Structure 1
Amino acid sequence: MSTPTETTLRFGIEGMTCGGCVASATKALDRTPGVEVEQLTLDGPAVVRLSGGADREAVWQAVEDAGFQPVFEAA
């Protein structure tokens, strides 16, 4: 159950082509404080839960550091 300080973020990730890519992106996100991966697959949006002050920029940086490109839809 999410608390008022938690946010769910859904986004695409370009450049992932295999299970190893998924594992690399998941590991990078899991190492990011305040980011909990709920779903990350090759064929759907990534879903992460943010808490403790984590934000979209932290997610963006983690995905880029893993070698991939996050794609957020325009708000």
Structure 2
Amino acid sequence: MLQFTVPGMKCGGCANSIRKALVAIPGVTAIQADPPNRLLTVDGTVSANLIIQALVDAGYDASLSS
């Protein structure tokens, strides 16, 4: 499980856009978005860098949460 901070994810529409961008990545098994807290959790066998790049490509800045 990887958790990311996504400052631009402010609403359900943003969360849906992010889900669409990430569901196409092989190895992603679950996506949980928490727009009020700007947090995104991704389960699966995928690297954090790949997720961050997909988020950037979708128009969202992101960083791995500690």
> Common fold, TM-score beyond 0.5?
yes
Does 2:17 match 1:24?
yes
Give distance in 2, aligned partners of 1:61 and 1:26. Answer: 14
> How many residues are aligned here?
65
Higher helix share: 2
Give distance in 2, aligned partners of 1:46 and 1:73. Answer: 9
Percent of aligned pairs with the same residue? 34
Give the 3 Å change call, closer, same or farther, for CA 32–18 of structure 1 in structure 2.
Answer: same
Please point out which of 41, 46, 55 is paired with 1:63. Answer: 55
Q: Match of 2:3, SS?
A: strand
**What stretches of structure 1 move > 3 A for 4+ residues in a row?**
none
1:49 aligns to what? 43
| RMSD between aligned residues | 1.6
Question: TM-score normalized by structure 2?
Answer: 0.81
User: What residue ranges of structure 2 are gaps of 5+ in the alignment?
Assistant: none
Q: Match of 1:17, SS?
A: coil
Higher Rg of the two aligned structures: 1
How many Å apart are 1:23 and its aligned residue?
A: 0.6
Is this contact kept in 2: 1:13–1:46, CA < 8 A?
Answer: yes
